[in-house]
């Protein structure tokens, strides 16, 4: 085997080297597993390694190299990738990091997974997450938390924390996550990498375990904009199996030229004055605005008057949808079964009690209460009205600007156990949730390290619905200035 250090390789690098026959795709898999072996005890990113599937895909890539058909019609030929463990992949466990699904083996493959595999990607494994994607730290995973590669005493963010940590540590250049309220952008920010939540409807969710069906969206993590654009091209397709998916005809690799001359970029004053935003994050976002101004963009102050109600609305709508979606895990059709009960009702009760962790149970109780007669009118209905107001705020803002710049997370990575109050944890997504509520595209781009904590900070870019190219273009200007994401040195 040809030995090399895969950590710094991007998807683009891999494909150039494969084409030049500098190494084989099977070498990539072996070397990737060496890196994982070296670091995984410290990081705990994976819930499962899929070496056989990776080697099979690598052999197919190597055959294409031999046949001189390498890369033909394939966007990610020979590129190692990994998937959040709420995404089905035939023959793997899809656990959602929950006791409830610990033994659930996928009988089919999610479209987003299929899309990358069809492009020639090598599936390295499934990635750790907060249980059923409820959380912002991966601390609710039944497999224990993943660690932030920049400081292993700190959280990687969540719920797609395993995905973000895997890319930040250099395991894989591209990983997939899902984002219902911030679960791609917040961990990307905390791990210092790129994370994209596309517009609701750009990417199929077929085969991804549902949390909040009107909010969930799948998206990629990467370290360079070139890789992120390739992943977006692979993912943004219309899928007849998910009727909300519309896909996109944009070739995202053509919009990342760093040119923002004449673009109008909004900054939200109330976001920058928000309680809970640390001064180092605020300073970084102000600095980012200056960088964009110097690159020729026009910075315009805007307001989103109803965005302050986003968290309250989300913690009504999210639990209601989660309560409905999680009803299927009843120990009969799906999920952990506590055997030996005399009647079905007690089997349900015991199985769901033992199968779901604390945060999942909290959301189920909340959702079931909020949807009950008499209560529904007081909470669910107004939350939907707030949703319309927030969506209109964004529509109005995007009449004035092409993209919005905001913090992704109010602070840098926190220590394990530091945030024990769930209501405090919910504030992790104070700048990301309104985007899911409105359905726009949002992403986090790493703009360096905080002056106080010396930990990564992400700038959030928000695009009008189905104009995700706007935020990718702005991010490419930031990449020109700040450079691509740094590989974390795991200590």
Q: Does residue 85 touch ligand GLN according to CB under 6 A?
A: no
Nearest residue (CB) to ligand GLN, 200 versus 482: 200
141 binds ligand GLN (CB under 6 A): no
Residues 6 or more apart whose CB falls under 8 angstroms from that of 319 comprise: 363, 364, 366, 367, 370
Judged by beta carbon, residue 197 or residue 473, the one nearer ligand GLN is 197
Binding status of residue 367 toward ligand GLN by CB under 6 A: no
Residues with catalytic function: 84, 159, 183
Binding mask 401-440 for ligand GLN (x = CB under 6 A): ---------------------------xx-----------
Shortest CB 181 distance to ligand GLN, Å = 3
Q: Tell me which stretch binds ligand GLN (CB under 6 A): 112-120, 132-140, 281-289, 452-460.
A: 132-140
Q: How far is the CB of 179 from ligand GLN (least distance, A)?
A: 5
| 383 is a contact residue toward ligand GLN (CB under 6 A) | no
479 binds ligand GLN (CB under 6 A): no
Work out whether 119 is an interface residue with ligand GLN (CB under 6 A).
no
Nearer to ligand GLN, 178 or 250 (CB): 178
Quote the least distance from Cβ 318 to ligand GLN, whole Å.
6
Binding status of residue 128 toward ligand GLN by CB under 6 A: no
Q: Is 441 in the site for ligand GLN (CB under 6 A)?
A: no
140 binds ligand GLN (CB under 6 A): no
Contact pick of 318, 335, 357, 448 for ligand GLN (by CB under 6 A): 318
**59-67, 127-135, 141-149, 393-401 -> range binding ligand GLN (CB under 6 A):** 127-135
Closest CA to 442 of 464, 427, 411: 464
Tokens coding 419 = 């945030």
- Residue 464 is a binding residue for ligand GLN (CB under 6 A): no
Question: How many residues contact ligand GLN, by CB under 6 A?
Answer: 14
Least CB distance to ligand GLN at residue 6 (A): 29
Please, which residue, 9 or 323, has the CB nearer to ligand GLN?
323
Minimal distance in Å, beta carbon 99 to ligand GLN? 18
Q: How far is the CB of 261 from ligand GLN (least distance, A)?
A: 34
Alpha-carbon gap, residue 143 to 402, rounded angstroms: 42
Residues 155-214 within binding reach of ligand GLN (CB under 6 A): 159, 179-183, 211
State which of residues 80, 135, 192, 441 lies at the interface with ligand GLN (CB under 6 A). Answer: 135
Q: Can you give the binding site for ligand GLN, defined by CB under 6 A?
A: 133-136, 159, 179-183, 211, 318, 428-429
């Amino acid at each position: 085997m040809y030995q090399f250090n895969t950590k710094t390789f991007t998807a683009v690098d891999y494909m150039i080297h494969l084409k030049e026959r500098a190494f084989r795709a099977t070498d990539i898999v072996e070397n990737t597993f060496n890196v994982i072996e070296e670091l995984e005890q410290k990081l705990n990113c994976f819930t499962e390694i899929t070496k056989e599937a990776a080697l099979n895909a690598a052999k197919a890539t190597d055959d294409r190299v031999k046949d001189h058909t390498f890369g033909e019609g394939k966007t990610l030929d020979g590129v190692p990738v990994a998937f959040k463990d709420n995404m089905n992949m035939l023959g793997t466990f899809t656990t959602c990091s929950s006791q409830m699904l610990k033994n659930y083996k996928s009988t089919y493959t999610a479209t987003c997974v299929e899309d990358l595999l069809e492009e020639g990607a090598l599936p390295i494994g499934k990635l750790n997450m907060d249980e059923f994607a409820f959380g912002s730290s991966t601390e609710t995973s039944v497999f224990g938390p993943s660690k932030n590669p920049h400081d292993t005493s700190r959280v990687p963010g969540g719920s797609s924390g395993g995905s973000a940590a895997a890319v930040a540590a250099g395991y894989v250049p591209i990983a997939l996550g899902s984002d219902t309220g911030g679960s791609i952008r917040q961990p990307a920010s905390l791990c210092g990498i790129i994370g994209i939540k596309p517009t609701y409807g750009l990417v199929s969710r077929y085969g991804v375990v549902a949390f909040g069906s009107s909010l969930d969206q799948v998206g990629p993590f990467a370290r360079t904009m070139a890789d992120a654009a390739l992943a977006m091209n692979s993912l943004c397709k219309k899928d007849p199996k998910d009727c909300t998916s519309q896909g996109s005809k944009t070739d995202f690799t053509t919009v990342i030229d760093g040119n923002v001359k004449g673009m109008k970029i909004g900054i939200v004053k109330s976001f920058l004055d928000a309680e809970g935003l640390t001064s180092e994050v605020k300073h970084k976002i102000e600095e980012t605005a200056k960088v964009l101004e110097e690159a020729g963009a026009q910075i315009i102050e805007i307001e989103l008057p109803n965005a302050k109600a986003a968290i309250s609305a989300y913690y009504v709508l999210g639990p209601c949808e989660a309560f409905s979606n999680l009803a299927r895990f009843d120990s009969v059709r799906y999920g952990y079964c506590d055997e030996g009960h005399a009647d079905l009702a007690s089997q349900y009760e015991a199985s769901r009690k033992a199968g779901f962790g604390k945060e999942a149970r909290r959301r189920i109780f909340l959702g079931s209460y909020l949807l009950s007669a008499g209560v529904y009118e007081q909470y669910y209905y107004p939350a939907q009205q707030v949703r319309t107001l927030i969506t209109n705020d964004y529509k109005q803002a995007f009449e004035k600007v092409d993209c919005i710049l905001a913090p992704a997370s109010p602070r840098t990575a926190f220590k394990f156990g530091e945030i024990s109050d769930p209501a405090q944890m919910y504030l992790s997504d104070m700048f990301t949730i309104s985007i899911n509520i409105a359905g726009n595209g949002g992403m986090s781009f790493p703009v360096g390290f905080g002056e106080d904590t010396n930990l990564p900070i992400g700038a959030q870019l928000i695009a009008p619905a189905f104009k995700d190219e706007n935020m990718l273009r702005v991010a490419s200007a930031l990449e020109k200035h700040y450079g691509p994401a740094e590989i974390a040195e795991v200590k």
